[in-house]
Amino acid sequence: MDYGAFFADVQVWIGQANQAAMQYGMDKPEFWQWVADSAGALCKKYNEHRLAIKQMVMMTEWLEEVYEKQVKPK
């Protein structure tokens, strides 16, 4: 796996996630569908490499934490 290319794609994905959050709103099913579909596509691009899967799971969990902090601010 080309790790440089993968992590560059992850960086692009983060920017796209920010755009999707603004477009749909993190409280909308369309946003979370975009997250699932795009994370899955990135994993497929890298042949379901274990690192790609774990990275995208982590990114999804990170987005969930961001959302939870917005819903339940301290």
**Closest Cα partner for 59 from 2, 6, 23, 4?**
6
**Phi and psi at residue 28, to the nearest 5°:** -105, 140
> Is 62 strand, coil or helix?
helix
- State the pTM of this model: 0.91
Handedness of CA 6, 7, 12, 16 (dihedral sign): positive
Say if residue 23 is exposed, middle or buried (CB neighbours under 10 Å; 0-12, 13-18, 19+). Answer: exposed
pLDDT tens profile 30-74? 999 999 999 999 999 999 999 999 999 999 999 999 999 988 866
